[in-house]
Amino acid sequence: MLNIRPATEQDRDAIWRIFHEVVAAGDTYPFDPKMSREDALAYWFGTDNHTYVAELDRLNRSSSKPPIVGSYTLHPNQSGGGAHVANAAFIVAKVARGKGIGRAMGEHCLNEARRLGFRAMQFNFVVSTNDSAVKLWRSLGMKIVGTLPGAFRHPEKGYVDVYVMFQSFENA
């Protein structure tokens, strides 16, 4: 069982471990693979951010602290006149991928965004070769509204396209 809840100070180490694993791989996010813990956590827990963690249910394991297997952060995509559109970023620990955690966080995130009064969700930088993410976001109603040609330098595939994905919550 998976529990998704707001992140606390105590979750910082676990989030950093997953974030570092994702960013060091260098194939999904346009961050410096050597980004420091301090910078990473400052980004993940930014002032306007709503940050959540996904933890496995205590019943499934022997030790006392439920393991954190993923996290997401939700915030306004822009300020001022663009602040009614949300943006979010997701990370799942490598060992825990393909088990529905990304989907559960994605659904939770879209519900949270609606609950917080955002009118739409925009993902600014979905690397086109990130098959699981593209498939997952599309299945959750996100549409590719733009393609940025060669906007990401993939460590193995070279320059690949990036998608801008969008979903309006109005009339949905």
Ligand X SMILES: CC(C)(COP(=O)(O)OP(=O)(O)OC[C@H]1O[C@@H](n2cnc3c(N)ncnc32)[C@H](O)[C@@H]1OP(=O)(O)O)[C@@H](O)C(=O)NCCC(=O)NCCS
Q: Are 44 and 51 in contact (CB under 8 A)?
A: yes
Q: Is 100 in the site for ligand X (CB under 6 A)?
A: yes
**Dihedral angle, C-alpha 163, 38, 16, 10, nearest 10 °:** -130
Which residue pairs from 21-27 have beta carbons closer than 8 angstroms and sit at least 24 positions apart in sequence? Answer: 21/93, 21/94, 22/91, 25/155, 26/155, 27/127, 27/129, 27/130, 27/154, 27/155, 27/156
Site string for ligand X, 64-93 (x = CB under 6 A): --------------------------xxx-
Of 14, 53, 110, 133, the one binding ligand X (CB under 6 A) is 133
Cβ distance to ligand X smaller for residue 31 or 169: 31
Q: How far is the CB of 171 from ligand X (least distance, A)?
A: 25
Of 5, 97, 143, 157, the one binding ligand X (CB under 6 A) is 97
Which chain residues interact with ligand X by CB under 6 A?
22, 28, 90-92, 97-103, 123, 126, 130-133, 135-136, 139
